[in-house]
Amino acid sequence: MREREGIFWGWYVVMGAFLISSISYGARYSFGVFVKPMSVDYGWSRSVVSLGASINMIVYSFCAIFLGRILDKVAPRWIITAGAIVASVSYILTGLARTPLHFYLAYGVLCGAGTACMGLLVVNSSVGKWFIRKRGTAIGISTMGVSFGTMALTPLAGYIVKNYDWHYGFIFLGIIFVLIGVSLSQLFMGRINPESYGLFPDGERKSAQAPEADHAESHPAHLSFKVIFRNSRFWILVTSFSLAVMTLMAVFVHQVAYALDNNIENLAAASSLGVLGFGGFCGQFFFGWLSDRVKDVKYSAVLGMIIMAAGMVLLLKATTAQRLYFYALIYGFGYGSLGPMMPILLADRFGRHVLGSVYGWLTFFMGICGGIGPFIGGLIYDLSGYYTYVWQANIVILIGCALLMLGLAPRAAGARE
């Protein structure tokens, strides 16, 4: 296929990634709406309910290792289609679960595997291979789907839980996955990279990229885990992003329950996740845009983590709906940096052709820590009766992540290894 007049196909990939992320992460981040109703209905402690989210993230992270390798060789269409079908079945089974074991198998194991096939690893790795000069903006736009889905699905899930039943909320999400996820993946995500179709990154008519613009272009399309693990930059990225995501998942799972404990009305508490999503929507575009304009994209990540820490300070005082919404807007804007910064920094340090492999390993470690976050948050609440200690720990961790990220070596150092 030769390049034709019209819109560069990479932007269609961005559109598909945006919409698929909306479904996948909108459903995941609406889980906080279900925590207290499930706990009250079945008499389960919050750590028992939260463990389901933790298992989900851990399974997601293990799948990421294999998905990353596959993504550097095949188009994501069938990966996402399979994931949408599995996720749909898992959400419906979660709505029918009656015991913790059934819940863990349905939401923890099946849903974790299904959503891994529709996660940012899959969609943003695909986007990153179609762009070099405009990579930050493209990935920023595609990642905005995470927040768009959060804004759209969490209030809707909250409405269903309040007016009908939490069981129907899970079943509704399962139907959304199979109807929309399959059609989007088949329509937009069938191509691997521009070179395979006679095109060039960013829609250039000829290869205008200087060799140094993407220093890994001459590297093989796969890096072994031994090579990745010997790179100090990889471990800085793993530590910073993994700990930041650990705090993020604790917030998403327990924020609504925290608001309800402060006597904030149910729908307002659920809607706070939508406000957080709106903040993330703005942040994802901003940090993607900013990364194309700063000397080193790590500074975008550092700024985002600092804003997240400031948001956690506000959450400690969020005892009214207005304060809760203000916190959610600030924290959401900062958390919007995480999604685009991961693949952008990895592509910058390792190159776009091996983005899937490296991103897969990062997602593995990140998922393990992310899975721990909700369970620890629930356990601290069960032991103390408050979320205060959870939010305070998050502040300290996020500041530490920002300081560690400042020590990330530039690309020139990575290219010499």
- The number of beta carbons lying within 10 Å of the beta carbon of residue 383 is 10
Dist CA 127 CA 355 (whole Å):
10
What pLDDT is recorded for position 70?
Answer: 80
Per-domain residue ranges of the chain = 9-199+226-415
Max mean pLDDT range (62-76, 185-199, 208-222, 392-406): 392-406
Q: Which residues contact residue 74 at a Cβ distance below 8 angstroms, ignoring those fewer than 6 apart?
A: 192
For 337-375, the DSSP string reads THHHHHHHHHHHHH-GGGHHHHHHHHHHHHHHHHHHHHH
Q: CB within 8 A of 117, min separation 6: which ones?
A: 63, 67, 79, 80, 82, 83, 84, 86, 87
Which of 148-162, 207-221, 248-262, 377-391 is predicted with the least confidence, judged by mean pLDDT? 207-221
- Look at residue 339 in the predicted model and tell me its pLDDT: 80
Distance of CA 114 to the CA centre of its chain: 14
Which one-letter amino acid corresponds to residue 232? Answer: S
- pLDDT of residue 95 exceeding 50, the answer is yes
Higher pLDDT residue, 292 or 306?
306
Mean pLDDT of 73-91: 89
**Could you give the percent of the chain with pLDDT greater than 70?**
90
Positive or negative, the CA dihedral 373, 377, 383, 389 is: positive
Give the span between the Cα atoms of 87 and 101, in whole angstroms.
18
3-state class percentages of the chain: helix first, strand second, coil last, to nearest 5: 80, 0, 20
| DSSP one-letter code for 179 | I
The stretch 221-236 carries a mean pLDDT of: 74
The rounded distance, in Å, linking the Cα atoms of 161 and 144 is 26
Distance CA 398, CA 368 (A): 17
The pLDDT of residue 69: 74
pLDDT at 113 (0 to 100): 93
Cα angle, residue 243 at apex, residues 238 and 245 outer, rounded to 5°: 95
Please report, rounded to a whole number, the percentage of residues in the chain having pLDDT higher than 90. Answer: 29
> Residue 412: its pLDDT value, please?
47
Q: Mean pLDDT throughout 300-304? A: 93
What pLDDT does residue 367 have? 80
What pLDDT score was predicted for residue 352? 63
Tell me the average pLDDT across 195-206. Answer: 72
Q: Name the most confidently modeled range: 24-28, 38-42, 247-251, 306-310.
A: 306-310
Mean per-residue pLDDT of the chain: 83
Topology classification of domain 9-199+226-415 = Growth Hormone; Chain: A; (1.20.1250)
pLDDT for the residue numbered 200: 79
Lowest-confidence pick of 167-181, 202-216, 260-274, 347-361: 202-216
pLDDT value of position 76: 84
Q: Which pTM value belongs to this model?
A: 0.72
Count of beta carbons in the 10 Å neighbourhood of residue 10: 23
pLDDT digits (tens, 9 = 90+) for 250-271: 898 888 889 988 888 887 887 8
Q: Which residue has the higher pLDDT, 75 or 171?
A: 171
Place 84 in a pLDDT band, splitting at 50, 70 and 90: very high
Neighbours of 397 (CB within 10 A): 20
Smallest Cα–Cα separation from 177: which of 98, 94, 250?
A: 94
In this prediction, residue 72 carries a pLDDT of: 67
The length of the chain in residues reads: 417
Q: What's the token pair of residue 370? A: 């992310």
At 211, is the pLDDT very low, low, confident or very high (cuts 50, 70, 90)? very low
84 membership: H or E segment, kind and range:
helix 77-96
Q: What is the pLDDT of residues 349-371, one digit of tens each?
A: 776 666 667 777 888 888 888 87
